[in-house]
Structure 1
Amino acid sequence: MGPASRESILGGCQHISRSGDGEIRGSQAKVWGGRGPPASRGTLRGSSVGSSDAAEPRRQLFREGHATLLPAQVRGEHGHRLFGLLQGSGVPAAHCRLHPRRLPGEPTGHPVRGGCALFLRPPHSGMSHLMPLPSNGPLPEFVSLHFEEASFLWALRRRAVHASHYAFADLERIDERIEAHLDGLRISGEAARSIIDEALSVAGMGEIFTVAVSALDTAPAVRLLPALELARESEPGLEAFLAALSWLPWPRVAGVLSQLLGEEDPALRRMALAGYAAHRQDAGAALSRALSSTDAPLRARALQSVGEVGRRDLLSFARQALTSEDEACRFSAARSCALLGDKAPVPILRSLADQGGPHAAEACELAVRRMDRREAREWLMGFSERPDRFRLALLGSAALGDTFFVPWLLRMMRMPELARAAGESFRFITGADLLERPLEGEAPEGFEVEDDPDAELPWPAPDAVEAWWNERKGDFHPDARHLLGQPMTSESLRDALRLGLQRERKAAALELAMRHPGQPLFDVGAPCFRQRQWLAA
């Protein structure tokens, strides 16, 4: 295979890193974006690589023979598939070097799925037009690429965690790709550190995440301080730094989180409590002290942690906070009480939902899960008669899982502005796949909405969906609560955690926590290696 084809493979590998979830298969790479529309999918074959303007400088560097790091995380039983693909394309073995790395939580004895393939020219290849390998390591352009891709992919992941069309397997692919680029930074030494230092001056959330992970993972502690100072300037920055603390295994971050708990700044203590909760670790006396803090955001975070880590011994503190003047504290207290099996917060949750504030949607979903069936039906029926509360009724009916609301959902599917949300609630209860024909419909001609909240949801075909339901409604017990077409049992909820889409997985996690008070809440946004450990427990 000639140099031109090898250039195309390099371009294809770089293209895969930004074009959805790519998987190398022999000489073909398929690219797709989660469960997105067909327009986001493409196929790369041989030299038929999408040639964007951004990819051309990378190919030029390839032609000049510089070293480059390629993400080599590929799935399946052959963990070195990208390495083999390079060799199979005519690149001699002496030109490639593989740095395998076992992904966090990956059991020993299995093929290595993560790492970076280093492509370089040997010093005496007989190719007079190629430049020698730089003596100071990999080229900065490609180290920058790893930094940019890790930052970009984390920002993508941040949205995917709450998206309607991502499953656990989709999220896991993103995690593996992030980890592969982080590996590229880990083995790049000083070249990575200089790029990270430069990035601090213009860092967004994704860049703060990458800088913080790199500092926590490989750099001296002094390099963590600039990232922390940058993060504490804003709530999004603290969120990104927290994501970095959550990304790495507990032993690597336990010391940092313990130090942050002792800081005077309430924002840093709040982030530390969130970090302990993300790892489902008990913050001990620090959590109890935070429950009495005069800083409302810190107190709200502590109240949230009580339910997330299953501290039933602190339930009395949460009950006392149900009357707090601060709405965030009141909601966090009600949420934790509900997770710990208490029905006392139902009036508070109903009130928060009725007010329509920032916590209305989640308060509605939690309230119906703690109500008696008749009470929940009557409350949601009141919403279903008020156009300004239709969406809350849709969310509540999905959370309740009651087929009593299916006829109303079918009517809502005929209203363009609510059709897709009604279809999602219908799927929650019945398990119907509205992406399959004939259940999938078309958008009404001329229908446009700015900032469309349902943009990722499929359009249902109301007549076909109603026919589907009429054929199958006899399979559903009218007195059972359902999720994805199955009566809610511990077994079916665990199946939903493994196989459902992210919003469905979140619903299953809430149900399991409420059915087993004191059990930590399963975090469907946690790094996937940790989720796999929890699922296997």
Structure 2
Amino acid sequence: MYATLHAFTRGLHEEHLQEISLLFEQRQALRLKPDFNWLEVADIEERIEAHLDALLIGGELALEVSRRAASEGDFGEIFGAIVLFCRQQQAPLLAEALRMMDFKDPKKQFALAMALRKALPTPWASFVEQALTQGDARLIPVLAAVSGHLRLPHGAALLAALRRSPEHALPVIEALGRLREASAEPVLRAALQGPDAEVSDAADLALWRMGRGQPDMPATPLTLAVAGGPATATALRQRVEAGHASPEEILALGILGHPPAWRALYDCLGQPELAEVAAIALQWSTGADLQADVFVPEEVDEQALFKDELQAWQQYKQAPVRLDGQPFGEVVNKPVTDPVAWQQWFEANAARFDRRLRYHKGRPCAPATWVASLQSPRGDARVRRYAALEMEIRYGCPVRFEVDMDVIQQRHALRAMEDWSRKEGARFQPGHWYLHGAASE
């Protein structure tokens, strides 16, 4: 009987880890959807917590099952096992899991980082710091991410990690930016001139987060959007008018929200390759709710076609259809790109905008504007990232916020942002330009 009960209980623990894995994968898949509603994952996260609670009360057998999953399981099971080790403060089991980790698998590395971000015990922060300087170099990307997202004061250790493993520059520089590590400024300025564009972009953002950005330094569309002033908006508008702007720069104009640029964005509606991104940028600025349901056909996978379907596709570009004769695909809500619709909207609404100010979703920009954007269930994931950086870089809001935190953590942070905005918001005139808490030109 004991052996049967033992096997049954073991099976339950294995099922809990398997369910955690499925839910973790669902959470990540939802976050990649273009129309992602950040509140949608709350139910998934609550279900993950329920399975974790079951493992927490599972005693030694649950730890034994999780120990095996940490070395042999998929990335979702690794996530569940590492969270359990952290919540039980089982340092030897975590150390063993790290030794067995396949760091060549980016999914497993990501799962490890997310688990440590979620559940790292406060007393273990010193071990993270020590591992950055002396531990297995393969851990540096994960530990850098954890240090940065949790705002652990590991600036010196991160710089030491960068010196001994320069191949991990990107996650280390991103972490230094989140920590606003002032002593990293020389390293970041050197990285700006390096050959790796991704590292250079990360260094650019890090310097602006630290308050060390300068108008003459290289800038990405992201930093132009969250740190630029009227001159930046004018320069980007001129690039759009000259036909030189990238889609990312057009979106940056949408975040800058400067009415003098809207004509240039409107003109892009007539260019098929830029129409959708221009409509998105206009909506971000104006708040015009010009949306329409559009059928998006499913991409044809030739390897999945039957012989006659493949022949029809290759010869006539005739895609396969459903039994009812309708093409495969889905209806997606997208911004309207029809110039006539936008012209009519501007004719009815242009008078309520002041060309000297900046706007987001039709409201003059202020801390409360960006907090509302972060709270909105319909908030575009890109806008939410911009909004969080606006609060940090333009207004100096000290609240830690990451767009991929658990929903319960985001809600807590947003309440803190609201409180900060009510107390400090009066210092900022709506629609005016700011940088690091001070007026900018």
Query: Shorter-chain TM-score category?
Result: 0.7 to 0.9
Residue 122 of structure 2 is aligned with which of 231, 239, 251?
A: 251
Displacement of 1:211 after TM fit? 2.3
Distance 2:348 2:81 in 1: 55
1:174 matched to 2:44: yes
Total equivalences in the alignment: 383
Structure-1 separation of matches of 2:33 and 2:287: 17
Matches within 5 A, 1:247-286: 247-248=118-119, 250-251=121-122, 253-254=124-125, 256-286=127-157
Q: Which residue of 2 aligns with 1:498?
A: 375
Instruction: Assess, with a 3 A threshold, how the Cα gap between structure 1 residues 250 and 470 changes in structure 2: closer, same or farther.
Output: farther
Sort the Cα spacing of 1:469 and 1:170 in 2 relative to 1 into closer, same or farther, 3 A.
farther
Q: Please, which of 371, 375, 387 is the counterpart of residue 508 of structure 1? A: 387
Q: Residue in 1 aligned with 2:333?
A: 458
Deviations 1:214-265 (A, max 9, x none): 2222373333244323242334322221110001165265255244334343
The aligned residue for residue 373 of structure 1 is 230
Q: Is the 8 A contact 2:257 2:358 kept in 1?
A: yes
Contact 1:381 1:393 in 2 (8 A): no
Q: Is the 8 A contact 1:413 1:420 kept in 2?
A: yes
Instruction: Give the Cα–Cα distance (whole angstroms) in 2 for the partners of residues 392 and 260 of structure 1.
Output: 37
Aligned to 1:230: 101
The aligned counterpart of 2:308 is: none
**Separation of aligned partners in 2, 1:143 and 1:512:** 43
Please say if 1:475 is aligned against 2:327. Answer: no
Of residues 388, 403, 407 in structure 2, which corresponds to 1:524? 403
**Is the CA contact (8 Å cut-off) linking 1:210 and 1:244 kept in structure 2?**
yes
Q: Which amino acid aligns with 1:460?
A: P
**In structure 1, distance between residues paired with 2:233 and 2:14:** 54
Work out whether 1:187 is the aligned partner of 2:57: yes
Supply the distance in 2 between the matched residues of 1:183 and 1:253 (Cα, whole angstroms): 21
Deviations 1:53-82 (A, max 9, x none): xxxxxxxxxxxxxxxxxxxxxxxxxxxxxx
Q: Hey, what's the Cα distance between the residues in 1 that align with 2:392 and 2:335?
A: 32
Q: Does residue 1:489 correspond to 2:366, yes or no? A: yes
Following superposition, the deviation at residue 194 of structure 1 comes to: 5.0
Alignment of 1:205-244 (within 5 A): 205-218=75-88, 220-228=90-98, 229-244=100-115
Provide the secondary structure at the position in 2 that maps to 1:442. strand
- Asked if 1:391 is matched to 2:247, the reply is yes
Evaluate the alpha carbon distance shift between residue 343 and residue 221 of structure 1 in structure 2; reply closer, same or farther with a 3 A threshold: closer
The answer to whether the 8 A contact 1:334-1:345 is kept is: no
Which residue among 308, 324, 330 is the counterpart of 2:194?
A: 324
- Please state how far the C-alpha of 1:195 moved relative to its aligned partner: 4.2
SS of match in other structure, 1:244: helix
Asked if the contact 2:132–2:161 (Cα under 8 Å) also holds between the matched residues in 1, the reply is no
CA distance in 2, matches of 1:449, 1:426: 32
Cα distance in 2 for residues equivalent to 1:456 and 1:485: 27
Query: Which one has a larger percent helix, Structure 1 or Structure 2?
Result: 2
Q: CA deviation at 1:488?
A: 1.5
Give the Cα–Cα distance (whole angstroms) in 1 for the partners of residues 271 and 196 of structure 2. 37
Equivalent residues in 2 for 1:75-474, closer than 5 Å: 135-136=5-6, 142-161=12-31, 163-189=33-59, 192-193=62-63, 195-200=65-70, 203-218=73-88, 220-228=90-98, 229-248=100-119, 250-251=121-122, 253-254=124-125, 256-290=127-161, 293-312=163-182, 314-344=184-214, 347-349=217-219, 363-383=220-240, 385-386=242-243, 390-410=246-266, 412-413=268-269, 418-434=274-290, 439-443=291-295, 458-461=333-336, 462=338, 463-474=340-351
Asked if 1 retains the 8 angstrom alpha-carbon contact of 2:67 and 2:97, the reply is no
Inter-CA distance 333–159: structure 2 relative to 1 (3 Å threshold): same
Q: Is the 8 A contact 2:125 2:152 kept in 1?
A: no
Q: CA RMSD in A?
A: 3.6
Deviations 1:312-358 (A, max 9, x none): 45434433443334444422221111223344375422xxxxxxxxx
Stretch deviating more after TM superposition (199-208 or 266-275) = 199-208
Greater relative CO (CA pairs within 8 A, separation 6+): 2
Structure-2 separation of matches of 1:147 and 1:413: 49
Question: Counterpart of 1:208 in 2: which secondary structure?
Answer: helix
Conservation of the 8 A alpha-carbon contact between 1:341 and 1:515: no
Q: Shift of the alpha carbon at 1:506? A: 1.0
Q: 1:348 to 1:178 in 2, by over 3 A?
A: same
* Aligned equivalents of 1:259, 1:307: Cα separation in 2: 20
| TM-score, structure 1 normalization | 0.61
Distance 1:522 1:214, change over 3 A: same
**What's the TM-score once normalised by structure 2's chain length?**
0.73
Matched to 1:421, the amino acid is V
Matches of 1:421 and 1:333 in 2, distance apart? 26
SS at match of 1:458: strand
Question: Where does structure 1 lack aligned partners over 5 or more consecutive residues?
Answer: 1-130, 350-362
* Amino-acid identity (%): 25
**Structure 2 segments unaligned to the other structure (5+ residues):** 302-329, 417-441
* Paired letter, 1:470: E
2-structure distance, mates of 1:494, 1:163:
22
CA–CA separation in structure 2 for the residues paired with 1:413 and 1:138: 62
> 1:513: Cα distance to partner?
1.4
Paired with 1:210 and 1:161, the residues of 2 have a C-alpha distance of: 19
